[in-house]
Every structure is written in structure tokens, then in C-alpha cells.
Amino acid sequence: MFIPPYYHDLSVSHEGCLPTHAYFMPASRPMDLIGERRAASDRIQLLTGKWAFRYHDSIYDVDEEIASARFAGEPAFFDEGFDLSSLASIPVPSCWQMFGYGRHQYSSSSYPFPVDPPNVPADVACGVYIRDFTWQSDEDAPRTVLAFEGVDSCFYIWLNGSFAGYSQVAHATSEFDVTDLLHAGSNRIAVLVLQWCDGSYLEDQDKFRMSGIFRDVYLVRRPMHAIEDFFVHTSIDRTGSAAVSVELCFTEGEPIDVHGRLLDADGLLVAKSDCVELECSGQSDPAARDAGSRAFQAQSRLEFKLLDAHLWNPEEPYLYHLELMSEHEVICERVGVRAISVNDGVVRLNGRAIKVHGVNRHDSDPQTGFCISQQQFIRDLALMRQHNVNAVRTSHYPNAPHFYALFDEMGFLVMDEADNESHGTIDVYRGESASWAEARYHWDALISDNPAWVEATLDRVRRCVERDKNRPCVVFWSMGNECGYGQVFERALAWTHAFDPDRLTHYEGAHHAYDRRTFDFSNLDLYSRMYMPYDEAEAYFECEGLRLVAEKRTAGAPDPTPGGAPCASQGDRWAKSHQLPLILCEFSHAMGNGPGDLEDYFKIIERHEGFVGGFVWEWCDHAIDRGITAEGRRIWTYGGDSGEVPDDGSFSCDGLVWPDRRPHTGLAEFKNVFRPARVVVFDQAVGRLRLRNLLDFVDLADVLSVVAELRVDGEPVEKIALEKLPRIAPHGEATLALPQIISAIPRSGHATLIVRYLLRRADAVRPVGFELGFDEIQIRTEDERCARAAKVLAATGGARVDVRQSAREVVVFGADDAGRSWRYAIDRRTGMLARMGIADRELLDAPAELNIWRAPTDNDAGVRKEWEEAGYDRVRERCRFCSVSCSVDGVDVDCVIVLAAAFRQPMAEVHAIWSFHSSGRIDMTLDLTRDPVVPRLPRWRFPSLPRFGVRLFLPRSMKYVSYCGYGPNESYTDKRRSSSYGLWRARVDELLEPYIRPQETGSHVDCDFARVEGAGVSLDIAMPEGADPFSFQALPYTQEELTRKRHDHELERSPSTVVCIDRAQAGIGSASCGPRLIERYRLDEARIKFRLALMPGVM
């Protein structure tokens, strides 16, 4: 081949690359070049914009074109003089799949090619990029470096017809010295990008697989003798003074004079220093320099002393400005003074214990793919700050280098992760040994414990660490994600710990190291887990924690390893014995309607100081924007929609925000769970509450004000503002008095106190008064019934109730005290309400149904199979007994209803009593007994229920809703913290969240009153006195339609307004990729009683 076969040669990851160094952008004078302002430097020349482009299905097509050109004596694509007229154009940066080349492929973990490392398919697709540009030399900066910040998967470069180099590692910067290849005036660069290479085995992240030059390309002019790299270290003493040390190394290994200045945030000089040459200076090994992976070797140092230093932390991200000035160049950098440590199993920043409330973030956009602009990035960070996110894991690769300054500036703790995942090696065929435990045991065989892959992995870790080593936001170095464990990571952790002992090392894969051999965990600073069950997290902090975990895992299951090793892995045991802090690098899977377990995790995290916290999976849904339908509905596509194999379906739609960054209700849930303060005690008798500061660094009085609002029956009746709080130190508590609120509490009604936390001082993304969260407190009254519900229940009067019976139905009719006639019918075959008419208007489009099914959420994926196997999705009612009794007050219809599905025995029996009052009110009592006795069969247990309640089909014209319950966001028993009890009003169309994959949505928990109305009629729904509250849902779709369809834009509206009134629903949880739903949130009672009142009306 004319193209060197580096792309499947494990011994060649880079050719012609410069050593990796800390990211910085030089200039000829001091300038603020943070983020995209770097384009203002007189030393950078961006090569972004339109490039000529040609896509090839196979690299052999390119090779044959080169051969043909050579044979004909014509220029090949990389030669000067090549005719560009036949090429298309494509923007750089971009991903070629977003422009119709190749096809989209989403895979969570499976390789899109055969698992035969380091080989990839012979016909690997590729793209040719060509651009002409003008270049002029600079006598003060005659050396020119060509930089590529992100190319997937590997690339070859030619400049003016000469081969300049080769590189891979998609999300790392690759630099080439092209000084001798440029000439004044017009120049041509040609790049060949391959879709796959041997490095693709280490880039098997859970994402859409995309290709191309997706980050910036630019030239940088440098002096011949200049700073090649520098490393900023900060230290703090007990007096509050700090030291900033800057270690320097130089091009060609020749020290130069460097003068340093340190300025405060206002630009005032606070310290200066001249560099001191170090005795240990030396030039790195030339072979290592060619490989682009040399370790930093300091040759000179600058020292700055700061008295009473301002420290950097995520709540007050104070940054100093550093200027490094040499003869022909100035480098400006920002410095955050902070110290990270682990003491007694607790992670501390600047000596204070911290909590991580983080998210996993991919580079992803529905229109630009991996290609993310600074505006898109800032939009993400702004939303995070507005929702109390304080940390980001760069899953599972480094972000663009100039974006980290934004993390610094906006105050985020960052887990910086190397571009390293070989998850798909777990998918090798194992014959009959197909268990997950067996798979984990052999996971590391191909790569992570294979010496042939050590250098390739080390290269990726070094490129991450070396590039981002000066970022104060980075507190954790992560070796990668889901690769198993072995010598590859033992070496990577050892190098990282030795190179940067001032930060903490992380790799979750150590948890998967079983007793196949003795592994080295000595360079791990954290015990990391994904989706750790709640009881295991609690057990970790108990004396016998690992034994309890092992017993939990082995209960009723075979040993997970061929050698019969204990279920608590070797990595688990090391972490426990060495008191490593616990961090969840992924938890609370936010797929679809979810997550539902944030509050439960929060309580465990707060309970244990050694529990650092975690990163929710994940920030955004991944989907492709395919435009809108004729009806104006957005078309989102996901795995499998492009016909790709393999694919993982809608597993990509697992974020807290939509692909276009509209927040899901899950993000609102996150915000309020991780609010900065909480009421821990409320004494209603004296009108005082005890407020706890959950911040780690800032006094609440400096950042928050409080507004307390008293609601009665869901409506505000009194509000007070506390603009100035008492001093409440981090993790401390103080008492607030609310006498005005207490004096306004009425004798009756459903009363609640909402305590809102508002920002006192604005920042870049949050104005003064921005709400950071709230607490809700139940207030006692003499009669705690909601007045609206009580009014329904108090309805009296009306004419005598009459009954007409037939073999098919029981018809009850009468008139209210206004003379309006009503007519209801019970179907004797089902025992359910079949008709509900008032004033000659029928309110039921179809008979009411007992309802135990819900459209499975993504988090129901595991239990869904059990539900469908049991027949919950096709259950039917059959009335076994029906009797009618009359009294002065009305008529009672008593039914015994059996619930069963085709080819299944009865799963439940319901004793239903329908009480019809002369006022027109219907009282419903349902008493469900699960797993009834079936003669001659054992009493087998059916699985827990999705829900239990009734479903009504009202006319579509009844499209307006009001309810007293938890809103305005959808709410469930374990997903309700972003909602509060109130009187909420909406149209039916507004009550659902249109998840990309349709599923259960829009329920509202703990309601005691609801009304559906429209076109002159209404239906009131009320909780009877002494009964339990209900969940309420009104949607334009049936649960069957939501179950059946794969995409939201495919949904067809029901001809009716579909109203579900539930005694209870199962919780939401996060079991799509997490622990099973917590037992207390399962609907698994043997007997469930449900009471409800219905009152039709005419408006």
C-alpha cells in the first residue's frame, strides 16, 4: 500500500508528533486568551472553515487512486497541483456522518467490527480533507506547530506534498513541527482520516460512533527558543498563606530567561519571580519525544508567595492571573490555589470535606454530533450551575483543551478521564459460560492485562494528564472506563501517581479484579463503583461491610468466578482494608422517566463523610435531529434507526436534558435534591425552623435569602422574605423564626409551608433571586382535609334514586338538587362503571377499567419481562358476583371482580362497591387481594404490580385539568422532590413529558382533589375522609399506545382524554442500568384498598 499501515500497527500510535505538553496559547504581549478568545492571539492561525472533502468506503479505494495517479504521472490527492474541482466540501470541525457520509451507529459497548485486536476490517472507510491557506513567517516566532485537537479515529497529514506525520487518540491533541514544510504564501494541507484503527479498540465508549476532524485545527508560531511546557503547583499552609510554584522546561532543552508575574482577579500585581535553573535539568529521550509521550522534566522554576491567599473552590472559584514573559513571547494562564487530599478516608479540598454532586457529560449535539462549540459548552455549564451540579466527569475522554478554563471559571470539580474504553472485549463468545460473572472474570484477557497494550494505554493517560495538568478544576485523574483491570492500569496508575501526587487517581475497573492473580491497587486513591446498590453502599462503611456485601451477592447464586473466589472482589477488599473514600463514577441512570432514587442516594452520601458522592449517568440524551413532522413534532432517532448492526436502541436517550438541552423533569429533581440548604427541624408550636447549610465552603448568609410561603389547599395565603440570614457556616445549622407565618395558619385545610432558597448575589448564569431549591413542610390543622375535596364529599340533596336492572347491567338514575338528571350504569360482566351521564351529556367514551398496567419506563426494562410474563399488559376483568342494595341515601352495587390474562390463572380479586348518592356523587371502594387461591394449584406469587387504580375515557373536549397534589412536574413515590403540593392547572396536552421513547409519564402523586373539564361538563375526583391520597394522570394517549410505539413522533392521539386515577404506582428508580427498585417503592402488598369519590357536573 502507498498508505503506511500504521492504523493497525500497535507499535506505532504516532509518527512525527511532538511531545505532549500543558495546553496554553502564546502571544507577543499579555492577552486574555481564555476559551475561544485564543483566536485573538497574533500567534495562532485557525484552519477551521470549509475544506474540500471526499468520502471513500474503503482505504483501498484511496490507495488505488494514488497508484493510478503515480502510474499516469499525475498528482495524488496530497500533492501540490491536485485538482479539487471533483471534491465536495465539508466544514472543519465536523463529523462526516452528520453530512450524509457513511451512516450513524449507536452502540453502548459492542464493537462495530470483529473483536480481533489490533486488527480492524480491511475495507475501513475514510475521508480525504484538503485545504489551501496562506501563511507568512514571523521573525520573532519562526517556528510553526500544526495542532489537531480532535480527530476520530486516526489520520495522516501531508503539507505541500510532503508527509508530515500520523497520529491517533481521537480526543487528544496531536502536534507537529511543520516549520520546514511551509513556505511564504499559498500552502496546501491534506489529511486522510480513517473511521477505525487499532486505537478504536480503546475508544469503545457508549456513544454514537462518528468520524472526522471534529475539533479545531490551527497553526501556532513560536520562537525557536521558548517554553515548551510548564507545570503549576500550589500549596497552602495553616496560616492561610500559599505558594505557587511553576516548573518550566524548554524547546531544545536550553533554558531561557523567563519573568513571572502573578496578578489577582482585579489585575493587580501580587507577586513576581524570575526563574531559577534547576540542577536536574535535562533533555528527554529523543525516542520518547518522537512518540509524543515523554514525561515532564523541569529545568527551571518560578516561585510566588501569597499572604492571606484567596483559595479556589467550586463555590468561590477565585482565579489568579499568571504571566510568563520571555524575549519574544508571553504566555498567560489562570491559577487556582487549592490543595486536594485524603485524610482518614475523607476527600478534602483546602482541608474541608467535600461532596460531589456531579454528572457524566459526553460531547453530543443532535445537529453537530461530537463537534461542540464554546457556546454549546457554556450552555451546558450554565444549565448545570442553575441546577446545583458542582462536578463533571468528562466521560469518557478529555474535553477540548480550551474549555477547561470555563470549568475553572464557573466552579466545577472535574474528573478528567483518559480516552480509554475497551468495554467490547467482554462480548467475546464464551460458549455455554455466558454468565456476567464469567464474562467479568475474563474481561481483562485481551487488553487490560495484556502487556502488548501497556504503551498504547499509557500514551492515552499521559496525553490527558500532561495536557490538563495546570487546570485547578481537575481534582481526579481517571484512567478510563470499563476495560476490566490488569497490568495496563497498574502501570497507568503508577505513572499518574508519581507524575502528579497532588491529585487523586481513579479507576472503577479495579472493582472487577478477582483472584486470578494478585493485583496492585496501591496507586488508587478512591474506591469507585457504578450503580452501587444502596445496601452495599451502606455496608461499605460498616466494620463487616465487605463480608455483608459478599453474602448479599452470593445469596442463591453460584460463585461468580471459575476458581470460586469470594464475590467481594480483590479490588473491593483492598479498598475496604485501606479505607479508601467511596465515589460513584456513575449512579442514578437518568434514562427516560427518571431517575427516581436521587433522594435515597443523597441520604446515604450525607450520612457518611467518606462517601464523596457521585456522577449521575448522564447529562444529555444522545439522538439525531431528523427535522419535524407535518404536525410540527420533532423527529429524534437513536440506535437502530439507521439500520446499523450492532445497535443498542434507545439506550442513548439517558440524560437529564433533551438532546437540544431542554431540561427533563429528572434535572429538576436533581436540582432540589442537591439544594444548598435543608430544613432539618420545624417546631410549629413556636414557629421556628432549624436550617442546615449543605455547602462545603460558603456561609449561607453570604449567598442566600429565604422566602417562606404558607399554602392552604394548594394556594398561597401568606409569604415572608428573610433577606438576611444569621451566620450559618458550611455544614452548620441555625434557627429561623417565622411568627408571621404561624399566625396565618388556619384551623382547617390542607396546609403546607414552602421554604425557598434564593440567590443573594448574581453570577454569570444566575441572577439575584434565582431559586436554588426549596423545602416543603406539612402543617397541622384541626381539619386537614382539602376544602375542594370536602365540598365534593359534602354534596347532598337531589331526588330519589331509581334502579333498573338487566342481565347485562345495573342502571342507576336520578337528579341533583338543581334538577339536572344523571344516569350511571354498572356492567354486570365486568363489575365496572360503563356509563356516566349528566344532563343528557355522556362523560364516558368507553367503560371504566381496573388498571394495573403502565407503559413501561426505561427503568422498568428489567421487571417489564416479569410483568408481561404475568399478563399484566393484557389483563381483563370478569365479574364473578354482583348484587344491588337500595337505601334512603342511594344505591350500592357490590361486585367481586377477578383479574386475569389470557392463558394465565387469576392474578387478583377485587371487591368493588359502587355507592350512588342522590346528589349524583359516586363513591368507589376497591379492595384488591393479590394471588387469590385457585383450586388444585399452588398459590404462586405474581410479580409486584406496575400500578393499581381505575382508568376513565372522557371526551377529548374535556381537556382542562386542575388538581391539588404534587406538581407542576410529574411526580411519583420516589421522584417527587422537584414538585410540591399545590393547586395546579394545565391543559391535558401539557401534562406529559414526551420522552423520545414513549413510556409512562405525567402522573401526580398524593392528590386529594382533581377536576377534568371542558365543553360545559366536568368531573370532580376527591379523596374521601380517612382515605389515602391518589395519583392522578390525564393524557392524550393510551398506555397501550405509549407501550407500542418506539418514538414520540409516531404516537397517535386517543379519541378520548385518558384519565388514570391510582391508589398507587410503582416507583421509578434507575434500574435501566442500576439496582432494582427499592423494596418500599414496589407495589407488592398482598392487599390494597382504594377509596375514591367522583362527581360529574355541568358548568
Angle, CA 87 vertex, CA 86 and CA 91 arms, to 5°: 155
Nearest to 376 by CA among 384, 364, 388: 364
Given the C-alpha cell 375514591, which residue does it identify? Answer: 1092
State which amino acid sits at residue 490.
E
337 pLDDT above the threshold of 90: yes
Q: Read off the C-alpha cell for 852.
A: 394495573
83 pLDDT above the threshold of 60: yes
Burial class (CB in 10 A: 0-12, 13-18, 19+), 764: exposed
* Run of H or E residues at 306: strand 300-306
Cβ neighbours of residue 284 closer than 8 Å, sequence gap 6 or more: 19, 253, 294, 295, 297
Note the pLDDT of residue 817.
83
Cβ neighbours of residue 932 closer than 8 Å, sequence gap 6 or more: 898, 906, 908, 909
Give the HSE-up count for residue 115: Cα atoms under 13 Å, Cβ half-sphere.
18
CA atoms 36, 53, 397, 356: torsion sign: positive
- Stretch 415-439: mean pLDDT: 84
740 pLDDT above the threshold of 70: yes
Instruction: Assess whether 784 carries a catalytic annotation.
Output: no
Residue 828 per-residue DSSP state: T
919-962 pLDDT, tens digit each: 999 999 999 999 988 888 888 899 999 999 999 999 999 999 99
1063-1072 pLDDT, tens digit each: 999 999 999 9
* Confidence category of residue 441, pLDDT binned at 50, 70, 90: confident
* Run of H or E residues at 743: helix 739-743
CA atoms 452, 454, 455, 460: torsion sign: positive
The answer to which of 348-357, 439-448, 554-563 has the lowest mean pLDDT is 554-563
533-551 pLDDT, tens digit each: 999 999 999 865 444 444 4
288 pLDDT above the threshold of 80: no
**Are the C-beta atoms of residues 460 and 454 closer than 8 Å to each other?**
no
Q: Which residues pair with 614 in a beta bridge?
A: 357, 584
* Confidence category of residue 1099, pLDDT binned at 50, 70, 90: confident
Cβ neighbours of residue 427 closer than 8 Å, sequence gap 6 or more: 109, 110, 111, 115
Contacts 24+ apart (CB under 8 A), 966-969: 966/1004, 966/1005, 966/1006, 966/1007, 967/1004, 969/665, 969/668, 969/669
Q: Which residues pair with 236 in a beta bridge?
A: 242
Cβ neighbours of residue 818 closer than 8 Å, sequence gap 6 or more: none
Rounded Cα–Cα distance for residues 422 and 406 (Å): 30
Instruction: Assess whether 482 carries a catalytic annotation.
Output: yes
Q: Which residues pair with 804 in a beta bridge?
A: 811
Rounded Cα–Cα distance for residues 706 and 492 (Å): 48
* Confidence category of residue 434, pLDDT binned at 50, 70, 90: low
**Are the C-beta atoms of residues 406 and 385 closer than 8 Å to each other?**
no
Q: Are strands 174-177 and 143-148 parallel, antiparallel or unpaired?
A: antiparallel
Per the residue annotation, which of 203, 329, 466, 482 is the catalytic one?
482
Mean of per-residue pLDDT scores for the chain: 94
18 pLDDT above the threshold of 90: yes
* Run of H or E residues at 59: helix 59-72
Cβ neighbours of residue 909 closer than 8 Å, sequence gap 6 or more: 880, 896, 897, 898, 899, 928, 929, 932
Cβ neighbours of residue 463 closer than 8 Å, sequence gap 6 or more: 20, 169, 172, 173, 292, 293, 398, 418, 419
Q: Which residues pair with 926 in a beta bridge?
A: 912, 1090
287 pLDDT above the threshold of 50: no
Note the pLDDT of residue 665.
98
- Stretch 198-227: mean pLDDT: 98
Note the pLDDT of residue 696.
98
Burial class (CB in 10 A: 0-12, 13-18, 19+), 791: middle
Q: Which domains does the chain have, with CATH numbers?
A: 5-222 (2.60.120.260), 676-784 (2.60.40.10), 790-1098 (2.70.98.10)
558 pLDDT above the threshold of 50: no
Nearest to 571 by CA among 515, 533, 487, 613: 515
Phi and psi angles of residue 890, each rounded to the nearest 5 degrees, phi first: 155, -150
* Run of H or E residues at 671: helix 665-673
Cβ neighbours of residue 32 closer than 8 Å, sequence gap 6 or more: 332
Note the pLDDT of residue 516.
78
429 pLDDT above the threshold of 50: yes
Rounded Cα–Cα distance for residues 362 and 342 (Å): 28
Per the residue annotation, which of 586, 669, 993, 1041 is the catalytic one?
586
Rounded Cα–Cα distance for residues 478 and 413 (Å): 13
Note the pLDDT of residue 878.
97
* Run of H or E residues at 572: helix 570-577
Rounded Cα–Cα distance for residues 653 and 483 (Å): 23
Distances, alpha carbon 73 to alpha carbons 65, 70, 76, 130, 1063, in Å = 12, 5, 9, 20, 81
Note the pLDDT of residue 295.
61
**Are the C-beta atoms of residues 373 and 399 closer than 8 Å to each other?**
no
Query: What proportion of the chain, given as a percentage, has pLDDT over 70?
Result: 96
Q: Which residues pair with 1091 in a beta bridge?
A: 925
Q: What is the pTM of this model?
A: 0.95
| Cis amide bond preceding 396, omega within 30 | yes
- Stretch 114-127: mean pLDDT: 96
